[in-house]
Structure 1
Amino acid sequence: MSDESKAMSEWVLAVSRELGLEEAVESDATVDMVLDLTSDVAHGVSRPAAPVTAFLIGLAAGRAADPAVAARDFAQKIGDLADGWGSDAERGSAAHDQQARG
């Protein structure tokens, strides 16, 4: 494990503990998901939009019955939105549209 990976893992664990989220965060999987999402947003939309998007997904997921599942679902949906951002393709349903999500 690189020094950077070790520092990231320790930081995520410390923040999770501080916020009472130890049981809700799958450290490595969560970090990878957030980094992938923010990379998609930074490259497809704008760099400053990346951390704001991660924050918004966290807020939305925190309101869901199962926040961990919702976070993964929202990250996928918003990542897809970012990938197609600026294209002429028709956008999908809104992330909060529960009927469209099935």
Structure 2
Amino acid sequence: MSEWVTAVCRELGLEGAVDTDASVDMVLDMTSDVAHGVSRPAAPVTAFLVGLAAGRADDPVVAARDYAEKVTGLAEGWDSDSERGVPAGDQEQRG
């Protein structure tokens, strides 16, 4: 996997922009939580969405980590019997 990630980073011009080992662990942990808490097909789509959102941030590496934590929390409570709080994207409902 390490060789693949290194090759992809090189191909996409991301050499030195990310800590590949930490990024791989973060993505695998997050997608595992989504696959088990939501659905397997949601996992790669979620990883794409987090990457897309992080790429728009001032510091994509920090944003990716923050977004992965948010998504993990969302996935962990996805099928809970209790009502969810304010939806993550509903800015009008937030204080």
Which TM-score bucket, shorter chain as reference?
Answer: 0.7 to 0.9
TM-score (norm 1): 0.82
Q: What is the CA distance between 1:25 and its match in structure 2?
A: 1.5
**Does the residue aligned with 2:46 lie in a helix, a strand or coil?**
helix
Q: What is the CA distance between 1:91 and its match in structure 2?
A: 3.3
Identity over aligned pairs, percent: 70
Q: 1:39 aligns with which of 24, 32, 37?
A: 32
Please tell me the root mean square deviation across aligned C-alpha atoms, in Å: 1.7
Correspondence for 1:54: 47
TM-score (norm 2): 0.87
* Matched letter for residue 63 of structure 2: A
Does residue 90 of the first structure (1) align with residue 84 of the second (2)?
yes
Structure 1 gap segments, 5+ residues each:
1-7
Work out the CA distance in 2 between the residues paired with 1:92 and 1:82. Answer: 15
* Matched letter for residue 53 of structure 1: T
> Quick check: 1:45–1:85 contact (8 Å CA) kept in 2?
yes
> Quick check: 1:61–1:68 contact (8 Å CA) kept in 2?
yes
How many pairs align? 91
Cα-to-partner distance string for 1:51-77 (whole Å, 9 max, x where unaligned): 000000000000000000000000000
* Matched letter for residue 54 of structure 1: A
Work out the CA distance in 2 between the residues paired with 1:58 and 1:96. Answer: 20
> Quick check: 1:41–1:82 contact (8 Å CA) kept in 2?
yes
Structure 2 gap segments, 5+ residues each:
none
